[in-house]
């Protein structure tokens, strides 16, 4: 039997995905509001003092770092919404333009714009791979859902892939509650074992009131535990979907 470890992660069905999307959308909305506020201040004549070299460099680096971080979050948490990329690009360059005040020295303009230009150029090269991996994982999740039909007959199904030494196992399994049970457990084995203990996301599919978590995440398998409300006593079968990622 697998032992409980610090790898324990808890997820509820549905809300986790919604929270991720709301988080990314909230960050993007915050950046947009700040940009529009500064634009309004600029048009209202409040921003009139040109930036010196050091402040311009600091602001340029801050914008570049914020842009990169926000895009990484969008790729990881909301890859199915490419419009986030467009919004980030628009707000980034609008913010840079707002901070480029009249009378700014050419050296300060260079310090402000160069970090952002470099970040934009690097993003066009580096995250293409990150976006492709995220797309592959999303595609794998879709395949798992499609292969799980008819769901009434499914007991367990795994899709295992390898990309640049990183192994991913996307699976769907049925976890059964007996009559009167409020908790149930299921073990999923990996054969052959993964290279190391994986990071795991897990959720219950179409099961309101059921909380699922991975209580042990090992290279050779997972232990999944589910809990339902005390007012539920009838036998119940719950489809559980999980994604285990193991670095090379």
The boundaries of the domain holding residue 118 are 15-125
- Residue 7: inside a domain: no
- Residue 54: inside a domain: yes
Q: Which two tokens mark 55? A: 């402040």
Is residue 118 domain-shared with residue 187, that is, in the same domain? no
In percent, the amount of the chain with pLDDT more than 90 equals: 15
Of residues 235 and 78, more confidently modeled: 235
**pLDDT tens digits for range 108-165:** 899 989 999 998 888 877 654 555 555 555 555 555 555 444 566 778 888 899 888 8
Instruction: Count up the domains in the chain and report the number.
Output: 2
Is residue 118 domain-shared with residue 68, that is, in the same domain? yes
- Residue 74: inside a domain: yes
- Residue 200: inside a domain: yes
Provide the mean pLDDT of the chain. 78
Average pLDDT, integer, range 176-199: 90
Is residue 30 domain-shared with residue 108, that is, in the same domain? yes
Is residue 86 domain-shared with residue 168, that is, in the same domain? no
Q: What was the pLDDT predicted at 133?
A: 56
Is residue 119 domain-shared with residue 169, that is, in the same domain? no
- Residue 10: inside a domain: no
CATH number at residue 229: 2.60.40.2080
Of residues 63 and 133, more confidently modeled: 63
Of residues 209 and 125, more confidently modeled: 209
Of residues 148 and 223, more confidently modeled: 223
Q: What was the pLDDT predicted at 198?
A: 92
Question: 227 with 182: CB under 8 angstroms?
Answer: yes
Question: 172 with 145: CB under 8 angstroms?
Answer: yes
Give the C-alpha separation, 81 to 110, whole Å. Answer: 33
- Residue 141: inside a domain: no
Q: What was the pLDDT predicted at 26?
A: 79
Give the C-alpha separation, 77 to 20, whole Å. Answer: 6
Between the ranges 19-28, 127-136, 160-169, 224-233, where is the mean pLDDT highest? 160-169
Write out the DSSP string of 148-215. T-SGGG--EEEEEEEETTEEEEEEEEEEEEPTT-SEEEEEEE-SSPPSSPPEEEEEEES-TT-EEEEE
Give the C-alpha separation, 52 to 101, whole Å. Answer: 11
Of residues 139 and 240, more confidently modeled: 240
Of 65, 91, 125, the position where a domain reaches its end is 125
- Residue 5: inside a domain: no
Give the C-alpha separation, 179 to 78, whole Å. Answer: 38
């Amino acid at each position: 039997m697998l032992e409980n470890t610090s790898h324990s992660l808890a997820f509820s069905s549905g809300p986790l995905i919604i929270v991720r999307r709301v988080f990314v959308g909230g960050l993007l909305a915050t950046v947009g509001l700040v940009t529009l506020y500064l634009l309004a201040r600029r048009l209202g004549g409040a921003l009139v003092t040109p930036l010196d070299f050091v402040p311009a460099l600091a602001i340029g680096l801050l914008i570049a770092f914020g842009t990169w971080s926000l895009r990484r979050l969008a790729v990881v948490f909301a890859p199915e919404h490419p419009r986030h990329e467009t919004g980030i690009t628009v707000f980034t360059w609008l913010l840079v333009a707002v901070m480029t005040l009249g009378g700014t020295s050419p050296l300060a303009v260079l310090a402000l714009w160069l970090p952002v230009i470099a970040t934009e150029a690097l993003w066009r090269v580096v995250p293409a791979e990150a976006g492709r991996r995220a797309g592959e994982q999303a595609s794998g999740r879709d395949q798992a859902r499609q292969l799980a039909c008819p769901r009434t007959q499914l007991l367990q199904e795994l899709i295992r892939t390898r990309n640049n030494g990183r192994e991913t196992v996307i699976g769907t399994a049925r976890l059964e509650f007996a009559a009167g049970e409020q908790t149930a457990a299921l073990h999923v084995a990996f054969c052959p074992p993964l290279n190391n203990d994986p990071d795991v996301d897990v959720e219950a599919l179409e099961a309101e009131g059921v909380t699922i978590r991975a209580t042990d995440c090992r290279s050779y398998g997972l232990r999944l535990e589910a809990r339902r409300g005390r007012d539920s006593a009838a036998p119940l079968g719950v489809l559980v979907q999980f994604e285990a990622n193991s670095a090379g």
